[in-house]
């Protein structure tokens, strides 16, 4: 190429057709390559979507739908499970449901018991701030918790519910009143009361055996008359018993002076444990609580205001068999008890602990309960 041609190409505004052709062809090739590349990219997008679907299976919509379906069916199955089990295993399901109801009642009373304990530990609070029912619960729950705790611990273990048939077979030994039916409550309470009342005779013999020691006491004749009335099958009036209350403030009937065997019989009469330590202290505390329960009955309107179930329970606690007893007789007995209790102070708690013997030793209902097997 000569200099003229080069200068012509280099001049501004002058285009050489061959050079423009070269540029046009190169631009076309670039556009074509770009278009083909974009086409290839666009063509690969469906593949990218397919790859995005290769994420974990449990995150896909289909998997979620399956999970929702399974959960929905499982919930429906659980709703129907109780009905299915009741049809196939009616006895086992009845025991299981009854046990769960007992656990619910037991937990409720346990919470109430600890609330009462916290209240009694509050400065300025005492048993006088409690109702009759709260004090009855305070006495009952420690015994129930000790009895039921092993069963509840075992059932909490894996496969622990396998012992439920055993509790169904021996409810009186393994469970407490929260788990009993109404019939079982009546039957087992009478059984326990019968066991308690068998200690009346040994206690009466202990009281009788101290007459010679009291021969020179000024209340000897009055007390001998009370003992003679009980021994002959009569019921001494409350006034005669109260005339002799000073005998229980010192030797030989005060809690500090009665014999070890005498103490054990008193503990069993009041359904208390006969542990080695602090028997007399625990008996004095029980007498105090019983007296406060009697005061609570008076505060709440008297014996006549008690419902029938509460009336029976009060008689049961105080040593009278409430089975087959007229309501009037229960009211009369509790009124006599309250009269005796209201005239007793802390110095003669021993008299209150002996009240079941002094007031109900010759009760026909107690006699039938203790000796019905022998008379039959």
Residues 285-308 have pLDDT tens digits of 999 999 999 999 999 999 999 999
- Find out whether 244 and 223 touch, Cβ atoms under 8 Å: yes
Say how many C-beta atoms besides its own lie within 10 A of residue 145's C-beta.
Answer: 15
Q: Is the pLDDT of residue 364 over 60?
A: yes
For the record, the structure tokens of 84 come out as: 């299915």
- Find out whether 157 and 318 touch, Cβ atoms under 8 Å: no
Cα 245 from Cα 226, distance rounded (Å): 12
Cα 82 from Cα 314, distance rounded (Å): 40
Query: What are the phi and psi torsion angles at 46 (to 5°)?
Result: -60, -35
**How much is the average pLDDT of 337-351?**
96
Cα 203 from Cα 119, distance rounded (Å): 36
pTM value?
0.76
The per-residue pLDDT for 44 is 46
Using alpha carbons, select from 164, 190, 186, 159 the residue that is nearest to residue 175. Answer: 164
For the record, the structure tokens of 236 come out as: 């001494």
Cα 367 from Cα 8, distance rounded (Å): 146
DSSP state of 269: H
Cα 175 from Cα 242, distance rounded (Å): 40
Q: Give the percent of the chain with pLDDT over 70.
A: 76
Cα 359 from Cα 340, distance rounded (Å): 10
Using alpha carbons, select from 135, 142, 114 the residue that is nearest to residue 310. Answer: 135
Higher-confidence position of 101 and 22: 101
For the record, the structure tokens of 85 come out as: 């089990």
CA dihedral for 236, 238, 242, 247, sign (positive or negative): positive
Residue-wise pLDDT tens digits, 152-183: 888 878 777 788 888 889 999 999 999 999 99
What is the maximum span of the chain, computed from C-alpha positions, in angstroms?
166
Using alpha carbons, select from 225, 230, 203 the residue that is nearest to residue 214. Answer: 225
Predicted confidence band at 35 (pLDDT cuts at 50, 70, 90)? very low
Query: What are the phi and psi torsion angles at 25 (to 5°)?
Result: -65, -40
The per-residue pLDDT for 77 is 60
The per-residue pLDDT for 88 is 62
For the record, the structure tokens of 374 come out as: 């022998």
Q: Is the pLDDT of residue 13 over 80?
A: no
For the record, the structure tokens of 373 come out as: 């097997």
Q: Is the pLDDT of residue 22 over 70?
A: no
**How much is the average pLDDT of 235-253?**
95
Predicted confidence band at 50 (pLDDT cuts at 50, 70, 90)? very low
Q: Give the percent of the chain with pLDDT over 90.
A: 63
Alpha carbons within 13 angstroms on the beta-carbon side of residue 254 total 11
Indicate the SS3 state at residue 227.
Answer: helix
Indicate the SS3 state at residue 216.
Answer: coil
Q: Is the pLDDT of residue 71 over 90?
A: no
Cα 315 from Cα 307, distance rounded (Å): 12
Query: What are the phi and psi torsion angles at 278 (to 5°)?
Result: 60, 35
Higher-confidence position of 252 and 168: 252
Residue-wise pLDDT tens digits, 115-133: 999 999 999 999 999 999 9
The per-residue pLDDT for 276 is 84
């Amino acid at each position: 190429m000569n200099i003229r041609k080069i200068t012509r190409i280099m001049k501004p505004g002058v285009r050489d057709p061959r050079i423009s052709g070269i540029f046009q062809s190169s631009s076309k090739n670039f556009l074509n390559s770009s278009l083909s590349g974009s086409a290839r990219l666009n063509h690969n997008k469906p593949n990218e979507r397919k790859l995005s679907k290769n994420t974990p299976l449990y995150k896909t919509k289909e998997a979620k739908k399956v999970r929702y379906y399974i959960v929905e069916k499982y919930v429906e199955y659980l709703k129907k499970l109780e009905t299915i089990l009741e049809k196939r295993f009616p006895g086992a399901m009845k025991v299981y449901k009854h046990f769960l109801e007992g656990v619910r009642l037991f937990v409720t009373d346990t919470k109430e018991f600890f609330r009462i304990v916290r209240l009694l530990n509050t400065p300025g609070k005492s048993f006088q701030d409690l109702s009759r029912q709260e004090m009855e619960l305070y006495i009952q729950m420690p015994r129930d918790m000790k009895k039921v705790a092993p069963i509840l611990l075992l059932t909490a273990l894996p496969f622990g519910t396998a012992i439920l048939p055993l509790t169904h077979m021996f409810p009186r030994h393994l469970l407490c009143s929260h788990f009993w039916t109404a019939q079982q409550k009546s039957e087992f309470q009478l059984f326990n009361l019968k066991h308690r009342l068998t200690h009346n005779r040994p206690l009466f013999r202990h009281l009788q055996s101290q007459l010679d020691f009291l021969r020179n006491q000024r209340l000897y004749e009055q007390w001998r008359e009370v003992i003679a009335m009980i021994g002959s099958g009569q019921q001494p009036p409350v006034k005669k018993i109260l005339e002799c209350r000073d005998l229980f403030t010192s030797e030989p009937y005060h809690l500090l002076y009665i014999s070890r065997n005498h103490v054990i019989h008193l503990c069993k009469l009041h359904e208390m444990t006969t542990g080695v330590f602090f028997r007399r202290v625990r008996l004095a505390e029980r007498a105090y609580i019983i007296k406060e329960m009697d005061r609570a009955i008076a505060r709440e309107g008297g014996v006549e205001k008690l419902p029938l179930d509460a009336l029976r329970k009060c008689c049961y606690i105080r040593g009278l068999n409430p089975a087959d007893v007229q309501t009037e007789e229960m009211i009369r007995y509790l009124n006599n008890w309250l009269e005796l209790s209201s005239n007793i102070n802390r110095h003669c708690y021993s008299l209150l602990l002996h009240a079941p013997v002094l007031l109900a030793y010759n009760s026909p209902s107690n006699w039938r309960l203790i000796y019905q097997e022998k008379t039959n």
